[in-house]
Amino acid sequence: MSLFARISARIGSLQLDAEIAAESGPLVLIGPNGAGKTSLLSVLLGARSHDRARIVIGDTVLVDSERRIALPIGARRLGYVPQDYALFPHMTVRENVEFAMRAAGIPSAGALNVLQELGVAGLADRRPMALSGGEKQRVALARALSVRPRALLLDEPLAALDVHARREVRQLLAATLQRLALPTLIVTHDPLDARVLGTRIAALEGGKITQIGSWAELDAAPATHFVAEFVRSSEVG
Amino acid sequence: MQRIAIAGLGALLVAFLALPIIALFGTLSLSDMQVGLQRSLVWPALRLSVLTTLCSLVFVISLGTPLAWTLADRRGRFSGMIETVMQLPIVIPPAVAGVAMLLAFGRRGLMAGLLYPRGESVSFTTAAVIMAEVFVSAPFYVQAAISAFRRIDPRWITVAKTFGASELQVLFRVALPLSAPALVAGAAMSWARALGEFGATLMFAGNLEGRTQTLPLAIYTALESDMRAAQALAIVLVVFAFGLLLLIRSSAQSSEDRTR
């Protein structure tokens, strides 16, 4: 399965014109602050409106403005893990997953299985407040997967973690994503995240994609000053 | 030295606000209080106040919550205007509210033809008391609910919607539980305002014992004949209002804890 998206949208003073594709392996989206990364995710999700867009996952057309197709946010079935994970604080881990499944029309009896698959079934009766950063991340991923999504969108999945937790959770996440084999888009600020998690990397600057390629390609021939700095900072770190 | 002078000015205000409350409690002996509470107008007024303010609270919450949820979005073209209009009852004098209610819902009011085809009207009935209370107290709840809904991290809402949650599921399972403490605080504030309502009630509903004479009106009536009864009633009202204030403060505290 693959994810293809071509999007034109006006977001505040930013004109977003981007085309991205994620096929085998996650696509990582990098870019300076205010370049439109999170806005791009919002348009993909259907939380923000677009001017023109075409979004296709496998054979399913989610949005095609020429054919006047635009599935509403709840019908797109995208697994979304926002920054800081946004677990519902008034529900336990199990209730978080059950709520998602019920809203998606899936019998919620399978909630524990979903948690089991990500190795967090033992946390089922805890509240999000009582979880470590890495645990929250896995629970949020389990919740996103519980609705059997067509694709995964992760916004800064490791930014909320401290340096020690980060390395371990990064490896776990990479292994999980490989096993899932879902079209995946990851937004990150961190060069190491991009390098470890991304099969391909897309740089978004000022609302436009300035380069797409593997880490090696970006490293060998960075197209912009930002990409050059980004690649170099991973070597220093 | 300057610091002490500034604090001293503040202390003057504290003294000014505290003295009447102290006088209220300090100048009435326990036996006077007992005698005062035995006056015939006391219990009907107390019963009526509890009944009507609870009714108005039910109206305010069940209509105010959907309104606040709609306005919190800021999406509609008129939502800003409606929000401002909703705050009007806070600033207009209760006497003006009373006149306005009479002109709208009175026997010869704007809606009379529609509401009272057979001539009898709602004014000077218990229903009119509830209407006056809703009018003056609703803005307090609606305003608190709007700001509570706006404080919810929008990512929670977006995430819920990506699962396919309907608008009602988002409201009942996510928004309401997350803003519950702030909503309780708003409801308590609104209740306190309804309980103290005097001017609009007097003009629109009158001062009929057992039917429209609420606690504040009973205090006003008792004042003419028996100071002790007025004072005893006032103390009941103050104690109840203070309880509400404590509820508001503790709810506001847990609301801060909950929405990060």
| Digit-coded pLDDT (tens) for B23-41 | 999 888 888 888 888 888 8
3-state helix, strand, coil split of chain A in percent (to 5) is: 40, 25, 35
Separation in Å, CA of B159 to nearest CA in chain A: 7
Check A90 against B258: CB less than 8 A apart: yes
Q: Which residues of A touch B254 (CB under 8 A)?
A: none
User: Which residues does residue A63 pair with via DSSP β-bridges, in sequence order?
Assistant: A55, A70
What band does A181 get if pLDDT is binned at 50, 70 and 90?
Answer: confident
CB–CB of A113/A88 below 8 Å?
no
Degrees, nearest 5: CA angle A187-A193-A196: 120
Of B162, B173, B174, the CB nearest to A45: B162
Q: Which residues of A touch B258 (CB under 8 A)?
A: 89-90
Check A104 against B163: CB less than 8 A apart: yes
Average pLDDT over every residue of B222-233: 88
Average pLDDT over every residue of A137-148: 95
Domain carrying residue B82: 2-259
Higher-confidence position of B170 and B32: B170
Token pair belonging to B71 = 């306005």
Token pair belonging to A107 = 């019998």
* Closest residue, chain A, to B156 (C-alpha): A86
What band does B258 get if pLDDT is binned at 50, 70 and 90?
Answer: low
Check B165 against A103: CB less than 8 A apart: yes
Predicted local confidence at residue A197, as pLDDT: 94
A95 inside domain: yes
Residues B92-126 have pLDDT tens digits of 999 999 999 999 998 888 888 788 777 778 888 99
Q: How far apart are CA A81 and CA A137, in angstroms?
A: 8
Separation in Å, CA of B182 to nearest CA in chain A: 15
A24 inside domain: no
DSSP state, A69? Answer: E
Q: For testing the chain B interface, which of A76, A80, A91, A108 should be mutated: the one with the most B CBs within 10 Å?
A: A80
A134 inside domain: yes
What band does A236 get if pLDDT is binned at 50, 70 and 90?
Answer: low
DSSP state, A26? Answer: P
Average pLDDT, chain A: 93
A222 inside domain: no
- pLDDT of A66 strictly over 70: yes
Token pair belonging to B222 = 């008792």
A92 inside domain: yes
Nearby residues of A104 by Cβ (< 8 Å), 6 or more positions away: A77, A146, A147, A148, B163, B164
A113 inside domain: yes
Q: In this structure, which amino acid lies at residue A176?
A: T
State the number of CA atoms in the 13 A half-sphere of A167 facing the CB. 3
What band does B257 get if pLDDT is binned at 50, 70 and 90?
Answer: low
The fraction of chain B above a pLDDT of 90, given in percent, is 67
Show contacts of B218-221: CB within 8 Å, 24+ apart: B218/B41, B218/B42, B218/B45, B221/B41
Domain count for chain A, please give it.
1
Residues A4-62 have pLDDT tens digits of 999 999 988 999 999 999 987 899 999 999 899 999 999 999 999 999 999 999 999 99
Token pair belonging to B249 = 């403060």
Q: How far apart are CA B223 and CA B217, in angstroms?
A: 10
A121 inside domain: yes
Characterize A198-231 residue by residue with b for buried, 16 or more Cβ atoms within 10 angstroms of its Cβ, and e for exposed: bbbbbbbbebebbbbbebeebbeebbeebbeebb
What band does B251 get if pLDDT is binned at 50, 70 and 90?
Answer: confident
Check B162 against A78: CB less than 8 A apart: yes
Tell me if ipTM is over 0.95.
Answer: no
Predicted local confidence at residue B260, as pLDDT: 46
Token pair belonging to B214 = 């609420």
Nearby residues of B246 by Cβ (< 8 Å), 6 or more positions away: none
Q: From the centroid of its chain, how far is CA A134?
A: 16
Q: Which residues of B touch A90 (CB under 8 A)?
A: 177-178, 258
Domain carrying residue A91: 87-148
Strands of B13-99, DSSP E: none
The fraction of chain A above a pLDDT of 90, given in percent, is 88
Q: How many CB pairs under 8 A join A and B?
A: 60
Predicted local confidence at residue B110, as pLDDT: 87
Q: For testing the chain B interface, which of A39, A88, A152 should be mutated: the one with the most B CBs within 10 Å?
A: A88
Domain count for chain B, please give it.
1
Residue among B152, B73, B174, B163 nearest A46 (CA): B163
Q: Which residues of B touch A104 (CB under 8 A)?
A: 163-164
* Closest residue, chain B, to A148 (C-alpha): B163
Q: How far apart are CA B68 and CA A145, in angstroms?
A: 33
Residue B234 sits in a domain of what CATH number? 1.10.3720.10
Predicted local confidence at residue B100, as pLDDT: 93
